[in-house]
């Protein structure tokens, strides 16, 4: 018999499909913010996006060039390691497949890098095959700076810290390299369905 | 931090409630004894897990408010009326109860006396909790690091740790309150939301390269961090921790 918290009944959400809520998460209608420092504000005329590292030829786009790439609408559930889950979030952005189209690489890992110095690491396979996007729109509006605008990563199958805000590019690497939260106690991969929140999970 | 990592997974532990202290009408501090506790750094948090009789579970994270002290840890919890977990913690728990928790977690929003100062802490409401762990550690370690706290509360009766903060002044901590909704008669402190001018008056300036820690509701942290950058503080010197008043 596992432990029971005396007097705790909880408040089950009857309106939520529990199969969409990973273990330890709760559904929120709000859009909370998690970041480690101040929000950067890079003017669009100084913004660019680049693919660097283990590639045959680095790529770079200005804001206008980036926005001219084919984009799509994406509706997904997102899960933050701080316990909230938000269902059916609606984004507009560019598939990472589009950004990497034609790139020759032997890399197996990708490092997202952002304004403010934030980085987060993933296996390359986790951002290809229609699993990840660079998004600039949320709920039919431009993405607010507080939530990562002008552009952020969206990797909805992993905890949301794996979706870097204020994204400026992707660095492809043959070796893995733990990013900002990953060296600060958080799991290297971050699968919410395995509840991989912290080191050792 | 490294020690916990080497030991592998942060496992769920049964913690016993030692004491429940009323801080303000909406805020309580719950003191736990965690037999297997291996210590923590000021600023870290724990995860709490509640389990109902039918197996339904709810988890939340709470900052540790106490300085490292053996197997004791204190969590300071604000009751959110529509919350699922916080009303249980503030209204239901009493000494002798047990609860499941795991931690400590987090290696960034932390301060240790060895990092030196100056230390500039900016708190909104129950965002004081992890910052209090830092001030308590400073006191326990006998550190004389320049430390200043700017603390925004709604009213005099809602100042968490009010008496203890007064005592910390004797230890050289500069404590400045702003009361944003109502003030007692004769109040001579600030009466407005934290702004750039207030941050410049209370905190060590950017030329002193303070370690800045900001904790409170999202909107509070967003504005304060922006103002600090505007004053010339290095963005990387400003560590933030935000909580949305949602679901807790």
pLDDT tens digits along B27-36:
999 999 999 9
Residue A163 lies in a domain: yes
| pLDDT above 70 (res A126) | yes
Total number of domains constituting chain A: 1
Structural domain includes residue A76? yes
Q: What is the pLDDT of residue B30?
A: 98
Distance (Å, whole) CA B72 – CA B140: 14
- The structural domains of chain B, ordered by start, are 2-105 (2.40.30.10), 113-243 (3.40.50.80)
Taking an 8 Å cut-off on Cβ atoms, the answer to whether A36 and B240 are in contact is yes
Question: Tell me, what's the pLDDT at B117?
Answer: 86
**Straight-line distance from the first to the last Cα atom of chain A, in angstroms, rounded to the nearest whole number:** 23
- Cβ contact B100–A5 (<8 Å): yes
Nearest Cα to Cα of residue A48 among A65, A64, A61, A67 = A61
Domain limits for position A129: 24-31+42-194
B222 in reach of chain A (CB within 8 A): yes
Q: Could you identify the residue written with the tokens 């901590």?
A: B173
- Tell me, what's the pLDDT at B244? 56
CA dist A40 and A38 (Å) reads 6
A110 occurs within a structural domain? yes
Looking at residue A166, which CATH number applies to its domain?
3.90.420.10
Torsion on CA atoms B225, B230, B235, B238, rounded to nearest 10: -40
Mean pLDDT computed over every residue of chain B? 94
Q: Which of B1, B52, B244 sits opposite A8 (nearest CB)?
A: B52
How far does A144 lie from chain B, in Å, by closest CA?
Answer: 12
**Contact residues, chain B, for A4 at CB < 8 Å:** 51-53
Task: Let me know if residue A199 belongs to a domain.
Answer: no
Q: How confident is the model at residue B225 (pLDDT cuts 50, 70, 90)?
A: very high
Residue A7 within any structural domain of the chain: no
**Three-class secondary structure of residue A171 per DSSP:** strand
Q: Give CA–CA dist A153/A112, Å, rounded.
A: 8
Per-residue pLDDT tens for A38-90? 999 999 999 999 999 999 999 999 999 999 999 999 999 999 999 999 999 99
Contact B59 A24 (CB under 8 A): yes
Please name the residues between 38 and 77 in chain B that touch chain A, using a CB distance below 8 Å: 47, 49-53, 55-61
Residues in A 21-50 with any Cβ partner in B closer than 8 A = 23-26, 28, 30, 32-40
In chain B, residues with a C-beta closer than 8 Å to the C-beta of A23 are: 57
Looking at residue A32, its pLDDT comes to: 72
Whether B3 shows a pLDDT value over 60: the answer reads no
Q: In the structure, what pLDDT confidence band is assigned to residue A133 with cuts at 50, 70 and 90? A: very high
Phi/psi zone of residue A169: left (φ > 0), alpha (ψ -120 to 50 degrees), beta? left
Determine whether the interchain pair A38/B228 forms a contact, defined as Cβ–Cβ distance below 8 Å: yes
Q: Quote the pTM value.
A: 0.94
Split at pLDDT 50, 70, 90, the class of B2 is very low
**DSSP H helices in chain A:** 63-67, 96-100
pLDDT reading at B58 higher than 70: yes
ipTM of predicted complex: 0.92
Share of chain B above pLDDT 90, in %: 91
* Contact between A184 and B238 using a beta-carbon 8 Å cutoff: no
**Distance, in angstroms, between B5 CA and closest chain A CA?**
6
Please check whether residue A14 lies inside any domain of the structure.
no
The pLDDT, as a whole number, for residue A100 is 98
Closest CA to B198 of B234, B246, B148: B148
Instruction: Report the pLDDT value the prediction gives residue B243, as an integer from 0 to 100.
Output: 75
* Burial track B58-91 (b if 16+ CB lie within 10 A, e otherwise): bbbbbbbbbbbeeebbbbbbbbbeebbbbbbbbe
User: What was the pLDDT predicted at A147?
Assistant: 92
Is A189 contained in some domain? yes
Structure confidence at residue A41 (pLDDT):
94
Instruction: Evaluate if residue B247 carries a pLDDT over 60.
Output: no
Q: What is the pLDDT of residue B1?
A: 40
């Amino acid at each position: 018999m596992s432990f029971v918290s005396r007097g705790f009944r909880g408040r089950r959400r009857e309106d939520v499909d529990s199969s969409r809520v990973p273990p330890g998460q709760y559904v929120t209608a709000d859009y909370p913010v998690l970041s480690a420092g101040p929000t950067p504000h890079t003017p669009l005329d100084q913004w660019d996006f680049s693919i660097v590292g283990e590639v045959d030829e680095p790529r770079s786009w200005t804001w206008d060039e980036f926005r001219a790439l084919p984009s799509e609408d994406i509706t997904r559930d997102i899960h933050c390691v701080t316990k909230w889950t938000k269902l059916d979030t609606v984004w507009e952005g560019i598939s990472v497949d589009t950004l990497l189209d034609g790139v020759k690489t032997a890399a197996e890992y990708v490092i997202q890098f952002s304004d403010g110095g934030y980085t987060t690491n993933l296996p390359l396979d986790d951002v290809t095959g229609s699993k990840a996007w660079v998004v600039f729109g949320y709920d039919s509006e431009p993405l607010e700076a507080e939530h990562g605008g002008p552009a952020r990563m969206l990797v909805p199958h992993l905890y949301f810290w794996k979706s870097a805000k204020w994204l400026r590019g992707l660095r492809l690497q043959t070796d893995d390299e733990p990013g900002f939260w990953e060296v600060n106690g958080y799991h290297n991969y971050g699968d919410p369905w395995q509840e991989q929140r912290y080191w050792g999970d | 931090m490294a020690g916990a990592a080497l030991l592998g997974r942060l496992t769920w532990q049964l913690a016993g409630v030692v004491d429940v202290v009323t801080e303000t009408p909406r805020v309580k501090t719950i003191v736990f004894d965690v037999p297997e506790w291996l210590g923590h750094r000021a600023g870290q948090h724990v995860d709490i897990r509640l389990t109902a009789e039918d197996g339904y579970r709810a988890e939340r994270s709470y900052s540790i408010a106490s300085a490292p002290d053996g197997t004791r840890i204190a969590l300071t919890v604000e009751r959110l009326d529509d919350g699922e977990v916080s009303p249980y913690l503030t209204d239901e728990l009493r000494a002798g109860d047990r609860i499941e928790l795991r931690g400590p977690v987090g290696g960034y929003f932390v301060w240790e006396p060895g990092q030196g100062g100056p230390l500039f802490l900016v708190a909104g409401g129950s965002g004081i909790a992890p910052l209090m762990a830092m001030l308590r550690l400073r006191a326990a370690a006998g550190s004389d690091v320049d430390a200043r706290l700017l603390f925004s509360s709604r009213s005099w009766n809602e100042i968490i740790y009010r008496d203890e903060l007064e005592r910390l002044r004797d230890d050289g901590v500069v404590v400045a309150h702003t009361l944003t909704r109502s003030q007692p008669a004769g109040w001579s402190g600030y009466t407005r939301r934290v702004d750039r001018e207030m941050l410049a008056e209370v905190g060590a300036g950017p030329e002193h390269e303070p370690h800045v820690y900001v904790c409170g509701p999202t909107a509070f942290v967003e504005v304060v961090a922006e103002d600090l950058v505007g004053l010339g503080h290095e963005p990387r010197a400003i560590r933030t921790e935000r909580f949305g008043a949602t679901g807790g």
